[in-house]
Amino acid sequence: MAQSYPAKPVKFVVPFPAGSATDSVGRIVAQAMSEAWGQPVMIDNKSGANGILGAEAVKAAPADGYTFLVTTSTTQAANVHLYRKLSYDPIKDFTPIGKIGETGFILMVSQDFPAKNMKEFIGYVKANPNKLAYGHGSSGSLVSAAMLTELAGLQTMSVPYKGIPPALTDLMSGQLQFAFADVGNAVSQMNGGRLRGLGVTTKNRAGKAPQVPPIGETVKDYNVSAWFGLVAPAGLAPEVQKKASATLLAVLAKPEVREKIQAAGVDLDVEDAATLGKTIDTEIKKWAQWVKTAGITPE
């Protein structure tokens, strides 16, 4: 089986909309693995319910090595703590293939927003309790905002979206006052001059946005980051898992693939299948703490 695998086109399910960081990473990896395998790797965007729809689709797919989930910390860790009843188990229902990279989020406001830095932003929100609304389209963007409001003692309103790009559209049109966008999406909006970035959620400055200071410099104990990886349905044959993982790691070692991923605002942090399995376990525990710190009650 492993020698002739893959013998037909492969599908990558992306649980977030086109234009999202997950979609960008998925497309880069799909193209590289397609070239390595000599088979088409097609992208299927199944967005909605914080990535749950895509995760459910892959859980239900045959474990034959022809369907993979381009997963994130949202689908594989955070959702466990954001929902009372989750329709899948991030460990038992999937076979890990490998980790791809990590990203932070940037607090975005419109160009005419009165605050020019984190300190001014916090002061402005405090002076206008419950008047500012933020949009979120993933657990990373939700927890980033909720943790900021909790740790800085702010009162704001939260508006859910299917993904980060539609939230940014409403931010530009003035329907929202702020939103957290993954570094890749944030930087393209900042470069286009449409939005401003005030702070990044990671402990250190992002490689693609060195000018944006960490929020943790203004708000004590603040830190949020997200990651991307590849998983398959549970029960995948070990030799297929091994081949898929080896191919993923081989393409992620190529300079041209690494450059494209970094250009999408994602810092590479590559792990093999066994290491990703352990990481998912650790991440589930980490997100439990973050969701608690953010004061979020599971739906």
DSSP 8-state assignment for residue 5? -
Interacting residues of 54 by C-beta distance below 8 A, sequence separation 6+: 13, 14, 15, 16, 45, 46, 47, 69, 75
Residues 40 and 88 in one domain: yes
List, for residues 21-77, the tens digit of each pLDDT value.
999 999 999 999 999 999 999 999 999 889 999 999 999 999 999 999 999 999 999
Residues 111 and 96 in one domain: no
CA 125/CA 155 separation, integer angstroms: 7
In-domain check, residue 254 = yes
CATH code of 261's domain: 3.40.190.150
List, for residues 126-172, the tens digit of each pLDDT value.
999 999 999 998 899 999 999 999 999 999 999 999 888 899 999 99
Residues 95 and 32 in one domain: yes
Last residue in a domain, options 217, 236, 270: 217
Give yes or no for residue 3 having a pLDDT over 80.
no
Are 25 and 228 in contact by the 8 Å Cβ rule? The answer is yes
In the predicted model, what is the mean pLDDT of the chain?
95
Are 74 and 52 in contact by the 8 Å Cβ rule? The answer is no
pLDDT at 1: 58
Q: Region 264-276: what's the mean pLDDT?
A: 95
Task: Give how many domains the chain has, as a whole number.
Answer: 2
CA 152/CA 293 separation, integer angstroms: 11
Residues 118 and 209 in one domain: yes
Residues 86 and 37 in one domain: yes
pLDDT at 162: 86
CA 222/CA 214 separation, integer angstroms: 9
Q: Region 67-92: what's the mean pLDDT?
A: 97
In-domain check, residue 1 = no
pLDDT at 61: 98
Interacting residues of 147 by C-beta distance below 8 A, sequence separation 6+: 222, 224, 290, 293, 294
Residues 243 and 98 in one domain: yes
Last residue in a domain, options 200, 217, 234: 217
Strand partners, 96: 231
List, for residues 5-15, the tens digit of each pLDDT value.
999 999 999 99
pTM for the model: 0.89
pLDDT at 2: 60
In-domain check, residue 73 = yes
Are 214 and 227 in contact by the 8 Å Cβ rule? The answer is no
Q: Where in the sequence is the domain holding 147, given as residue range(s)? A: 105-217
pLDDT at 299: 87
Residues 33 and 178 in one domain: no
In-domain check, residue 48 = yes
pLDDT at 116: 96
Residues 118 and 211 in one domain: yes
Binning pLDDT at 50, 70 and 90, where does residue 251 land?
very high
